[in-house]
Amino acid sequence: MLPIVDTAFTPWASLFGGILIGLSAVMVMLFFGRIAGIVGISSGAMSALMPANPRAADWVWRLTFIAGLLAAPLLVGTVQGNIQQTVPTNIPGMILAGLLVGIGTTIGSGCTSGHGVCGLARLSPRSLAAVLTFMGFAAVTVFIIRHVWI
């Protein structure tokens, strides 16, 4: 039986977080002319570090963005106090989930942030199809795990 995770409703924190995510997406597009999709940014950072890559100059903003992603929880935790974070103990399940997300983002040409935040804002039909698909499967998966699997 899987544990049920508490999903408290936090409208103000969600609103403020959404504003910051949207602002960062606009900034990445404005300053770098790129989509703020995490998978694209991280894979571009790794490939930019490969020898003889014509996009090697592209790595600085990408690594800086990733550093900001990693530093943000530390900064918020320092300001607000302890942030409660749970880490799953089912390592094989997490590996499988990570592989599925990695394969899905490769096949779907982008991740949830790229399609959901940036793609929908650009009215991309491909992003709309991707978001409807992964949100639909997410809803079905949660229903099955919480109401059928137990």
Domain residue extents for the chain: 11-148
Residues 114, 38: contact at Cβ < 8 Å? yes
> Residue 134 is encoded by which pair of tokens?
């992964």
Sequence-distant (6+) residues with CB within 8 A of 25 are 35, 36, 113, 117, 118, 121
Whole-prediction pTM: 0.74
Phi, psi dihedral angles at 78 (to 5 degrees): -70, -40
Among the residue ranges 58-62, 83-87, 108-112, the one predicted with the least confidence is 83-87
* pLDDT on residue 52: 67
